Amino acid sequence: MDRDESNCAENTLPGDSAPLAAYAPLRPLTAYLLGPVDFDTLAAFQRRLVYEVSGDRDRGAVIVCDHPVSITIGRDGSVAHIRPSAEQLALRGWPVRWVARGGGTMLHVPGQVTCYPILALDAFQLTAGRFVKELLAVAVDLVSEFGLTGIADDQCPGVMVAGRRLVHIGTAIRRGVTCYGLIVNVNPDLAPFWDVRCDGASLPMTSLARESPRRVRITTVRQRLVELLVARFGFDRMSVFHTLPTSGPQARHHAFSHGS
C-alpha cells in the first residue's frame, strides 16, 4: 500500500553537512523541463514516474513546470487560509484542490518555477525528513545566487527572504519514492497573494524579481535549480525532455561529473 508522509514535523534546518554528492553513488537523472501543465495532468504523470522509479530505484526523475492559476491545500493547510469565498473563487476561475502532501495552502500562478524531484529514499540513504532538509538547502543555495539571504523555515518547510516566504516546500512519499517538491516565486503578479495565506503566513509571498538586485529570468532559475539538484544528490548524467513522453520528445544527454 502506498504511504504518504508529511514533512512539516520531521525536517530540520540545513546545517554544515556535506551534499549527498559526497557519498551517494552515481546515478542518471531524467529531467522533464516543461511549460505550463495543468494540475491533473501533472498528478497523473507524477504517479507514472513514481511507479517507474519504484521499480528501478537507482534512477531519478524531476519535473520542472508551472501551473495555471489554482490553489492546492496540503495536510497542514486550511480553507481558512483562503480569503475569497467559494463563489468569488468560482468567478475568478480559481479551482481549489486538496492534495496528499506535506506543507500548507499554496497559490499557483504563472511566473513560478515548480520542481518535483522523484527519487527512491532508500537508494540515497535518506529519511523523509532528511530529504526535506536537502530541498531546503537547494532552495537556500538558489536564492543566494541572486544576491539574497534565504532563511529556511523548519516549522513548515519553505524559504523566507526579507521576512516573507519566497519558496514553498511540500512533499509526499509513495512506494518509498518522493513526489511533489518545491515552488519558487520568480516573477509572478504578487497582488493575488494578498488573498491566499500561503502556508498560513500572515504576510503575502514575495518573489525573486521583487527582492533581488540582479536580473531575474525564469529560464535561468529553471536551469540553476536543476543543476543544484544534480550536484546535491550526486547525479552524474542527465537526459532532458521538453515535452511529455506521449508526445514523442527527443532527449538531450548531458554528462555531469560527480558533485559538480
**Domains of the chain with CATH codes:** 20-26+69-225 (3.30.930.10)
- Percent helix, strand, coil in the chain (nearest 5)? 30, 30, 40
Judged by DSSP in three states, 231 sits in helix
pTM, to two decimals: 0.85
Contact 14, 139 (CB under 8 A): no
Q: Provide the pLDDT for residue 245.
A: 87
The secondary structure element, H or E, covering residue 221 is helix 218-233
Q: Provide the pLDDT for residue 26.
A: 66
Q: Provide the pLDDT for residue 154.
A: 85
Q: Provide the pLDDT for residue 17.
A: 52
Beta bridge partners of 237: 28, 255
Contact 186, 143 (CB under 8 A): no
Mark the ranges of the chain whose per-residue pLDDT is less than 70: 1-26, 246-260
Q: Provide the pLDDT for residue 255.
A: 42
Contact 154, 12 (CB under 8 A): yes
Burial-class residue 91 by CB neighbours within 10 Å (0-12, 13-18, 19+): exposed
Q: Provide the pLDDT for residue 90.
A: 97
Handedness of CA 214, 158, 99, 228 (dihedral sign): positive
At 252, give phi and psi (nearest 5°). Answer: -115, 125
29, amino acid identity? L
Contact 38, 5 (CB under 8 A): no
C-alpha span between 110 and 242 (Å, rounded): 18
Burial-class residue 104 by CB neighbours within 10 Å (0-12, 13-18, 19+): buried
Q: Provide the pLDDT for residue 8.
A: 42
Q: Provide the pLDDT for residue 25.
A: 56
C-alpha span between 71 and 103 (Å, rounded): 13
